A and B are shown apart, each in its own frame.
Chain A
Amino acid sequence: MKPLLLSLFCAGTLSAVAGSFDRHCVPCHRKEGVSLRQTFMNALLIYSGEHNMKAGLKYFLYHPSIETSVMGRTYFRNHRLKKPSSLPEKEMDAALDEYWERYKVIGHLK
């Protein structure tokens, strides 16, 4: 019984990390009507590089502010700023990795 529990737990944590983006980010964005493609392109315009972007977004998601947002001031005229995330750092990193992989430009130009 023990090994099964252990393996279930392991699988649980693994899958928790593996699908992090789809579970923690997509639903809320869908609900809020904020396109994750659009936010990605906006972020690219500001952060440029992969690591720079991940670090920048991570900080923003934990400490959102209008000044550091990539959405632009006009967006906040009729939208609210999001709440600070309470996602554990490990899952945040995994979500951002997936986010990058899914929307990145490198390798998708012809």
Chain B
Amino acid sequence: MLIAQKERMIDYAAEQVRRLKRLHEAFPRRNRYPRDPRFRSAIYDLEYVQIFSTLRDNRVDFLRDIYRTGGYIHFVKLLDSYYLGAKYLFIEVPENHEWWTRTLSRILIAGLVSGVFLTLLGIYLARLFVRPMRRSIELLDDFIQDTTHEINTPVHTILGNVEMIDPRNLSDRDRRRFERIAIAARSISTLYEDLKFLTLEQDRPLQEERIDLAQLLEERLEYFEILFRTKALRLHRDLVPTVLRADRRLIARLIDNLLSNAVKYNRRGGRIEVRLRPGVLEIVDTGVGMSPEEIEEIFERYHRFNDTEGGFGLGLDIVRRITEHYGMRIEVQSNKGEGTTMRVYFDAGETERREK
């Protein structure tokens, strides 16, 4: 409190000294002691004799710097040049809390106003910078959605016609070409399904049903067969009949993506093992493998961890979404250069062993 007052009393004292100096130079032509509505004051000489005073309380203390006396605060200033013979200048202000609270509220208001201003400025700037970014993301999303729609018909036309052709009727050269076309068509179809899942089917109501997981796996393996062949991959399957209650298309996407990755990152002439037990699906490849840091990152959308391989990197994001949706746990075990094992654990409540 006293400290808070001191600062302005120092200012008052400096001001009063300037006035005393002017009076000293004009004395005795002018002899009116300088007064100020904000404070009262007194001057004393070196021998403690009062020269002049307008103080309310004349109990002055020459040894102190600032002190309280009967409802007033006295601040003492020692003069360097004794204008009018004064060595001591006393400044007196009433000891009221009014000034203090006024100052405090002023500080608070100023802080509040500048705080609000800065916040608004911050929001405005953030908007300004984020807007173009948000626009380009929206544009991309729109583009993907539109394209997905448009791809539907041609993809199915190609796939339908490819399946109608009997490769046995073709010459060896044509058969190889045909197989390449079939693979390409399937890749596009998988990509299409992924995109559709991410963009168009988000809000599709799920149809929960009992799925014969072993049978679904067989189906998908057959679909991938042609892909395995082109990379000369040997497939080992060990499927124990298992029933899962879920949306068939979601589980198909899950399996497709896991298989697709196992193929994509495998080496030529490698191996793929697919193992199914009640409660766990395991897909093992003999591919490039991943470091622990890479494993951390693979489930992020649009992440493609091997630049030499194509793909949008949507696959594992879809895997993550589906497993999260069904509360499944996914485990990745990998050694760089040796291969990767993906294990999906289903919730015990979702599985049942089919009696043979």
Chain A proximity of B206: nearest CB distance (Å): 98
From the candidates B31, B82, B83, B87, name the one contacting A108 in the complex (CB within 8 A). B31
Interface residue? A68 (CB, 8 A): no
Q: Are A41 and B27 in contact (CB under 8 A)?
A: yes
Given the known inter-chain contacts A105-B51, A106-B51, A109-B51, please indicate yes or no for A45 contacting B24, CB distance below 8 A. yes
- Taking CB atoms, residues of chain B closer than 8 Å to A52 are 46-47
From the candidates A46, A50, A51, A108, name the one contacting B28 in the complex (CB within 8 A). A108
- Taking CB atoms, residues of chain A closer than 8 Å to B51 are 105-106, 109
From the candidates B24, B46, B81, name the one contacting A49 in the complex (CB within 8 A). B46
Nearest B residue to A44 by beta-carbon distance? B85
Q: Are A47 and B31 in contact (CB under 8 A)?
A: no
Task: Determine the main DSSP class of A at the interface with B.
Answer: helix
- Taking CB atoms, residues of chain A closer than 8 Å to B33 are 109-110
Encode B25-59 as 1/0 by CB contact (under 8 A) with A: 00110011100000000000111011110000000
Nearest B residue to A110 by beta-carbon distance? B32
Q: Are A49 and B85 in contact (CB under 8 A)?
A: yes
**Interface size on B (CB < 8 Å)?**
20
Question: Bound complex: CA of A49 vs CA of B37, how far in Å?
Answer: 29
List CB contacts (< 8 Å) of A19-52 with chain B: 37, 41, 44-52
Nearest B residue to A49 by beta-carbon distance? B47
Question: Bound complex: CA of A50 vs CA of B47, how far in Å?
Answer: 8
From the candidates B27, B47, B81, name the one contacting A51 in the complex (CB within 8 A). B47
Q: Are A105 and B82 in contact (CB under 8 A)?
A: no
From the candidates B27, B50, B52, B82, name the one contacting A47 in the complex (CB within 8 A). B82
Given the known inter-chain contacts A49-B46, A51-B47, please indicate yes or no for A44 contacting B82, CB distance below 8 A. yes
**Interface size on A (CB < 8 Å)?**
17
List CB contacts (< 8 Å) of A52-110 with chain B: 52-53, 105-106, 108-110
- Taking CB atoms, residues of chain A closer than 8 Å to B49 are 49-50, 106
Given the known inter-chain contacts A106-B49, A106-B51, please indicate yes or no for A45 contacting B32, CB distance below 8 A. no
Of B52, B82, B85, B87, the most chain A CB neighbours within 10 A belong to: B85
Q: Are A109 and B46 in contact (CB under 8 A)?
A: no
Given the known inter-chain contacts A45-B81, A45-B83, A105-B85, please indicate yes or no for A110 contacting B46, CB distance below 8 A. no
Interface residue? B86 (CB, 8 A): yes
Of B47, B51, B81, the most chain A CB neighbours within 10 A belong to: B51
List CB contacts (< 8 Å) of B44-89 with chain A: 45-47, 49-52, 81-87
- Taking CB atoms, residues of chain B closer than 8 Å to A41 are 24, 27
Question: Bound complex: CA of A38 vs CA of B52, how far in Å?
Answer: 21
Chain B proximity of A63: nearest CB distance (Å): 22
Q: Beyond A49-B87, A106-B49: 9 further Cβ-contacts under 8 Å?
A: A44-B24, A44-B82, A45-B85, A48-B47, A49-B85, A105-B27, A105-B85, A108-B28, A109-B33
Could you list which residues of chain B lie within 8 angstroms of chain A, going by C-beta atoms? 24, 27-28, 31-33, 45-47, 49-52, 81-87
Counting from the closest, the 7 A-B pairs by CB-CB distance are A49-B47, A48-B46, A48-B82, A49-B46, A44-B85, A49-B45, A109-B52
Q: List 7 contacting pairs A-B, 8 Å CB cutoff, sorted by A.
A: A44-B82, A49-B45, A49-B85, A50-B45, A50-B49, A106-B51, A109-B51
